[in-house]
């Protein structure tokens, strides 16, 4: 307490005593024991009230011993069972966690990790993934600004997450306990397989395969890729003590449309301990996306040849150049490129009103703009007979489809008649036009989507110069051709907006997170947060059906289907209020990444120990680890003085005492006829 508080307390004693003496001794002529009791009660009441007004702070000091935390983290993934090390891991955990001396020195806390990191004292070794990086992140968060050791009981075979060697805090020692047989066995495995998720029909798609060998002698094996009973590719591979890995590139034919499942297999002539990792399934969705494009032009121009070459750089595109008066059936085409339309195009526009084919209109010095104003309403042209050069300016906010700036600002100008161009609300500008350094705020390349019909407009001729300039800048036509292909892709896709949009993968690997998301839109195409979405999932082989509710997330509804076995599944998402539904199909490929290992990753765990200045131990060295932890002088318990401060006004019993003393004084005075 401060000096002022002590002086106020003394003054309170004096005031309370003086008022009590004045009331019951100085003013009262009779002296009795009742007056003495009443004076004491009055003293308690007045002094208590004055104490509350002064409200002194009451301090109390206690000593607390804080031990250094010792997290014991156990690998709970199924690879521990695969290496027949689950009993060893449990035995090591018990020896460490139940050691009396360690308990006296450390605050022992138990954790497990597999798919996720969590506190636990029981382990079933059923995790389908191993993420050591997640262990490092969580320990840093839990024991922030603390120096502590970590015991890690694991085989070190990580299947997800970042490289764990440098994830742990270098100031905190990590002591890996390696479980699993470290004897080197002969083992061949398909360690990694890279392939695109989609391929186009009648093309060939590449598959990149990484094969690994564990052993010391030279061996040969057969590698094959098959689909069902058909072997699509087969070749011999050789390994030796100096040649431990091989990368193969295989081209496979894309023949059947739809989701196609393939199997990559390596078959050695010698016996292996683990044959599960000799096979890896993968899937590719074959798409029939052959697009026929008609370039309709009444004139000859280098732009036509440039567009044809750029479009046909994609093998799925076929371009036909026709005159406007010789085109017969529009149904043969997916996209119409109308190059500098004039009155000769009247029949084409009339036929397209019925056919509804998406159009790409390119204007230039030969265009009849009055005719064009009559045939469409997306852009309104008021042009003069004077020619003008227009430079391009890229709009980074364009969002109809993903596209990069390939250097449009450095391309030569396009030529078009001078005038004004007015756009309606539904038009999106990818490129705006400039005359020298002056912005016109008019489009140079624009897109429109209205009631499911899509249109594109390029306002200027000499596109061929852009293709040449792109080749000069990039030493290749690729970027320009991709730019043109994106335009054709946008126009070739004619999907109108749906009220129920479902996003899912065509296939998943066993053990992966299987998440399906959906969005439901009302009639104004606004996201409906009050929608009620359910999903019904049916195994195509067993016909077993499971139903789930989709939970609302951030602008979407989601469901997690983890736990489904390998196989094919049909699903249907329904919105219960409107009865809207969406059906689909996905495959779960039989692949258990935790069965890919025959040995613990001693090298990685040793790197981790060196990086954190800890030490790697084997199961028979557990006593040495315990002794090392006990003898380490860096981990001492700290005695901490804790000062707790309480305000007297928070002390309820003082209020109770004041109330009792006042009530007692009144009762005694009433009883003795002194009121």
Q: What is the pLDDT of residues 618-627, one digit of tens each?
A: 999 999 999 9
Residue 496 has pLDDT above 80, yes or no: no
Q: What is the pLDDT of residue 384?
A: 92
Of the chain, the percentage scoring pLDDT greater than 90 comes to: 43
372 to 375, 383, 387, 520: CA distances (angstroms): 5, 11, 18, 38
- 141's enclosing H/E stretch is helix 132-142
Mean pLDDT of 367-394: 92
Mean pLDDT of 304-324: 91
Print burial letters for 480-508: b (CB count within 10 Å at least 16), e (below 16).
bbbbbbbbbbbbbeeeeeebbebebebbb
Residue 524 has pLDDT above 60, yes or no: no
Question: What single-letter DSSP state applies at residue 167?
Answer: T
Task: Name the band, by pLDDT with cuts 50, 70 and 90, for residue 526.
Answer: low
Among 6-20, 74-88, 295-309, which is the least confidently predicted range?
Answer: 6-20
Q: Mean pLDDT for the chain?
A: 87
Task: Name the band, by pLDDT with cuts 50, 70 and 90, for residue 675.
Answer: low
Mean pLDDT of 206-232: 90
C-alpha 218, offset from chain centre:
43
Among 87-91, 260-264, 421-425, which is the least confidently predicted range?
Answer: 421-425
pTM over 0.75: no
Task: Name the band, by pLDDT with cuts 50, 70 and 90, for residue 465.
Answer: very high
Q: What is the pLDDT of residue 437?
A: 86
Mean pLDDT of 368-380: 92
Mean pLDDT of 589-599: 75
Residue 639 CA neighbour count, 13 Å, CB half: 3
Q: What is the pLDDT of residue 523?
A: 65
Among 167-171, 186-190, 221-225, which is the least confidently predicted range?
Answer: 186-190
Q: Quote the tokens at residue 85.
A: 């090390």
Residue 152 has pLDDT above 90, yes or no: yes
Beta carbons of 256 and 284 less than 8 angstroms apart = no
- Give dist(CA 521, CA 526) in Å, integer: 5
Q: What is the pLDDT of residues 257-277, one digit of tens each?
A: 888 889 999 998 888 877 878
Residue 393 has pLDDT above 80, yes or no: yes
Of the chain, the percentage scoring pLDDT greater than 70 comes to: 97
């Amino acid at each position: 307490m401060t000096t002022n508080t002590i002086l106020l307390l003394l003054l309170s004693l004096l005031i309370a005593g003086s008022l009590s003496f004045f009331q019951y001794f100085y003013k009262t002529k009779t002296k009795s024991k009742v007056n003495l009791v009443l004076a004491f009660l009055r003293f308690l009441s007045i002094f208590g009230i004055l104490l509350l007004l002064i409200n002194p702070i009451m301090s109390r000091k206690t000593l607390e011993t804080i031990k250094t935390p010792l997290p014991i983290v156990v690998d709970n993934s199924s690879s521990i069972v695969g290496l027949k090390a689950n009993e060893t891991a449990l035995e090591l955990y018990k020896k460490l966690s139940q050691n009396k001396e360690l308990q006296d020195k450390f605050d022992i806390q138990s954790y497990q990790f597999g798919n996720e990191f969590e506190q636990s004292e029981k382990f079933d070794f059923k995790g389908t993934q191993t993420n050591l990086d997640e262990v490092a992140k969580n320990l840093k968060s839990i024991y922030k600004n603390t120096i502590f050791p970590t015991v890690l009981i694991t085989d070190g075979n990580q299947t997800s997450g970042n490289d764990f060697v440098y994830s742990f805090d270098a100031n905190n020692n990590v002591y890996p306990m390696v479980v699993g047989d470290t004897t080197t066995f002969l083992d061949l495995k398909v360690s990694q397989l890279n392939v695109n998720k989609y391929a186009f029909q009648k093309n060939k798609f590449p598959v990149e395969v990484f094969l690994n060998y564990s052993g010391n002698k030279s061996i040969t094996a057969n590698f094959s890729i098959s689909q069902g009973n058909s072997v699509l590719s087969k070749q011999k591979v050789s390994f030796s003590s100096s040649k431990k890995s091989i990368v193969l590139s295989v081209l496979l034919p894309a023949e059947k449309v739809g989701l196609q499942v393939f199997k990559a297999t390596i078959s050695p002539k010698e016996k292996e301990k683990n044959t599960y990792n000799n096979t890896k399934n993968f899937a590719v969705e074959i798409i029939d996306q052959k697009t026929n494009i008609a370039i309709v032009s009444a004139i000859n121009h280098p732009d036509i040849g440039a567009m044809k070459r750029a479009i046909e750089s994609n093998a799925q595109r076929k371009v036909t150049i026709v005159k406007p008066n010789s085109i017969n059936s529009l149904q043969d085409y997916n996209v119409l490129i109308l190059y500098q339309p004039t009155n000769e195009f009247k029949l084409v526009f009339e036929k397209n009103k019925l056919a509804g084919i998406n159009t790409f209109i390119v204007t230039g010095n030969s265009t009849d703009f009055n005719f064009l104003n009559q045939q469409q309403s997306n852009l309104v042209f008021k042009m003069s007979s004077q020619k003008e050069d227009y430079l391009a300016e890229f709009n980074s906010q364009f969002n109809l489809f993903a596209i990069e700036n390939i250097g449009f600002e450095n391309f030569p100008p396009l030529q078009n008649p001078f005038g004004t161009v007015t756009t309606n609300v539904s038009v999106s500008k990818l490129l705006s036009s400039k005359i020298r350094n002056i912005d016109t705020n008019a489009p140079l390349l624009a897109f429109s989507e209205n009631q499911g019909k899509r249109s594109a407009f390029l306002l200027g001729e000499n596109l061929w110069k852009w293709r040449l300039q792109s080749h000069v800048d990039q030493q290749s036509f690729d970027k320009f051709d991709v730019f043109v292909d994106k335009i054709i892709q946008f126009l070739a896709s004619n999907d109108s907006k749906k009220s129920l949009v479902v996003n899912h993968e065509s296939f998943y690997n066993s053990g992966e997170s299987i998440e399906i998301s959906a969005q439901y839109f009302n009639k104004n195409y606004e996201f409906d947060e009050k929608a009620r979405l359910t999903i019904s999932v049916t195994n195509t082989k067993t016909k077993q059906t499971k139903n789930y509710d989709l939970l609302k997330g951030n602008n979407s509804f989601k469901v997690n289907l983890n736990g489904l076995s390998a196989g094919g599944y049909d699903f249907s998402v329904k919105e219960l209020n409107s009865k809207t539904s969406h059906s689909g199909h996905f495959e779960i490929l039989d692949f258990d990444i935790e069965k890919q290992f025959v040995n613990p990753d001693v090298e990685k765990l040793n790197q981790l120990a060196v990086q954190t200045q800890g030490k790697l131990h084997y199961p028979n060295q557990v006593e040495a680890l315990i002794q090392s932890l006990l003898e380490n002088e860096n981990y001492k318990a700290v005695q901490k003085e804790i000062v707790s401060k309480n305000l007297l006004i928070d002390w309820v019993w003082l209020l109770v005492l004041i109330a009792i003393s006042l009530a007692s004084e009144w009762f005694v005075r009433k009883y003795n006829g002194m009121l």
